[in-house]
Amino acid sequence: MEIDLRKYLQQNHNQLTWKKRINITYEIILALYYIHKEKAIHRDLHSGNILYSQSNDYWYISDLGFCGPADKSSTSIYGNLPYIAPEVIVGREYTFASDIYSIAILMWEISSGQPPFINYEHGNDIVMNIINGIRPKIVPGTPLEYKNLMKECWDADPLKRPDAYALAIKVNELNLYYQNMTDDELFKSEMDNLEMNKVEENYTSCRLFTSKIHNFGNLPEPRNATEGISV
């Protein structure tokens, strides 16, 4: 039996430890690394097509219909809006770095238990926030290393984002650190973080959270927001 990441978080987030969250993140990034290793770009990563195989106990990436060679051009913007990289929104080609941006949003979703930009009703508001560097507010209790990697991955400049290989190595190091913590260390860490990361199960209709073709007009160049501004 399989379940997507969105439903998995709805059902389990308040019981998830950071040890488990980081392990999930690592498996997703590793799956993306293997896609990129084949010189392919996914182009439509979101929590609806990240699947967990309950029988085999592992995470993988599905919906490879728009996945293709890195040199494959695209004449339209297709994707799930909150996960689309700012440079793609303003009309540039999808790249490996565009997938990495989507990974950052998935990392945030795993940390928060909520879909990104859940309080926005209109796509245009999300578009302007993304290109102006506004990102989802980082959840209190997020481990510093995880937070820093997430911020690197959603940088407005694609060249400043790590590639999938470098990201997999860094998250694996963090994963191993948590796997090797003593029971006492884990208990203290997880109790603190579970309390700070408890969320209400309050989800909108998810009208925005589906993949479709988008047509945006002339937009300004993407930029990073002033430090501390986030939503």
- Give CA–CA dist 145/128, Å, rounded: 28
Produce one character per residue of 10-34: b if its CB has 16 or more CB atoms within 10 Å, e if not. Answer: beebeebbbbebbbbbbbbbbbbbe
Question: Residue 58 carries which DSSP code?
Answer: E
Query: CB neighbours (10 Å) of residue 96?
Result: 18
- pLDDT at residue 86, as a whole number: 96
Catalytic residue among 44, 57, 63, 157: 44
Question: Residue 55 carries which DSSP code?
Answer: T
User: What is the full per-residue pLDDT of the chain (231 aa) written as tens digits?
Assistant: 899 999 999 999 989 989 999 999 999 999 999 999 999 999 999 999 999 999 999 999 998 766 656 665 555 677 789 999 999 999 999 999 999 999 999 999 999 999 999 887 767 888 999 999 999 999 988 999 999 999 999 999 999 999 999 999 999 999 999 989 877 777 676 666 655 555 544 444 444 466 666 666 667 788 887 644 444
Handedness of CA 174, 176, 178, 181 (dihedral sign): negative
- pLDDT at residue 169, as a whole number: 98
- pLDDT at residue 217, as a whole number: 63
Structural domains in the chain? 2-214 (1.10.510.10)
Question: Residue 180 carries which DSSP code?
Answer: T
- pLDDT at residue 200, as a whole number: 45
- pLDDT at residue 228, as a whole number: 41
- Give CA–CA dist 175/186, Å, rounded: 13
Tokens 């820093």 sit at which residue? 148
3-class SS of residue 101: helix
User: What is the rounded radius of gyration, in angstroms, for the C-alpha atoms of the chain?
Assistant: 17
Helices and strands, number each (H, E), in the chain: 8, 7
- Give CA–CA dist 101/216, Å, rounded: 19
- pLDDT at residue 229, as a whole number: 46
Tokens 């990563």 sit at which residue? 45
**Is residue 44 among the annotated active site residues?**
yes
Sort 197 into a burial class: Cβ within 10 Å, 0-12 / 13-18 / 19+: buried
